[in-house]
Amino acid sequence: MAQPALFLAHGSPTLATKDNNYTRFLRQLGQEKLKRPRAVILFSAHWDSPVQQVTEERLHQTVHDFYGFPDEMYAIHYPAPGDLELSREIGSLFKSNNLPYQSVLERGLDHGAWVILRAMFPDADIPVVELSVDSKRSPAEQYAIGKMLAKLREEDVLIIGSGGLVHNLRLLGAEGAAPSSWAVLFDDWIGLQLSRWDLRTLFDYDKKAPHVKEAVPSYANEHFIPLLYAMGAADNERKARKLYQDYEYGSLSLNCWMFGGQD
């Protein structure tokens, strides 16, 4: 059976130091629920580029792309290997679909990648290729880029979009705050479109979704769009299943959606 594609929320960087329901879910997902993949392709919200970029590294550095956090955060390292052959295969797929791309030889994994991968695969022994997203593209284009990679799932490659469906740092509540009703309504509306695989409505989310201006502010839509890349990678199956939904600070959503690769 093919590997699934996943959309995973990476939450706050401090998720890397926590033992809570979501981190326990991620550990169980990676170590018990999923078949061990031979490699991971990950689209990160923290790599937004107008040109599609692909890491081509033998060994990834750990990028601490945040400021003002506790010292323990900067001591965390996740030295996952790259996969040069897979990076080049991704490039060939992009080239055959007339998508310009660039190979990046020295970048490392940003926290959108290593926070969740460290929870899922703590030994850092599964090769990873990180890919950029482009927040200026249309949803249809973002979906189409994910679709270009769909065949790799048949080659035991797990494809992940890492971001956050509701991600508005200006509207965060206190730690431990109850979920904000507007955030839940937005997530549930998105979930309905995913369960129906209603691309026409989903691609128009910025006009139709309830509370979209609060959930996906114009300055932070790069956190929403990894969902579309992950969905595209399962276009041949068009099955969606919600595995997890919760919130940090009242409105920072922690979601996991699985696309395809299901019994």
Q: 131, 43 in Cβ contact below 8 A?
A: yes
What is the full DSSP assignment across 36-48?
PPSEEEEEEEEEE
Domains of the chain listed by start with CATH number: 5-259 (3.40.830.10)
Instruction: Identify the bridge partners of residue 259 per DSSP, sorted by sequence position.
Output: 5, 240
- pTM of this structure: 0.97
Q: 13, 132 in Cβ contact below 8 A?
A: no
Q: What is the pLDDT of residues 53-104, one digit of tens each?
A: 999 999 999 999 998 888 999 999 999 999 999 999 999 999 999 999 999 9
Query: CB neighbours of 134 closer than 8 A, spacing ≥ 6?
Result: 48, 49, 50, 51, 52, 141, 142
Q: What mean pLDDT comes out for the span 170-186? A: 93
Query: CB neighbours of 121 closer than 8 A, spacing ≥ 6?
Result: 30, 31, 40, 80
Q: Which of 160, 161, 186, 167 has its CA nearest to residue 253? A: 167
**pLDDT exceeds cutoff 70 at 262:** no
In the numeric block, which tokens belong to residue 67? 């400021």
Directed axis angle between helix 111-120 and helix 21-28, to 10°?
70
- Where residue 261 falls among pLDDT bands split at 50, 70, 90? confident
Q: What is the pLDDT of residues 118-153, one digit of tens each?
A: 999 999 999 999 999 999 999 999 999 999 999 999
Query: CB neighbours of 218 closer than 8 A, spacing ≥ 6?
Result: none
Q: What mean pLDDT comes out for the span 184-193? A: 98
**pLDDT exceeds cutoff 60 at 263:** no
- Where residue 208 falls among pLDDT bands split at 50, 70, 90? very high
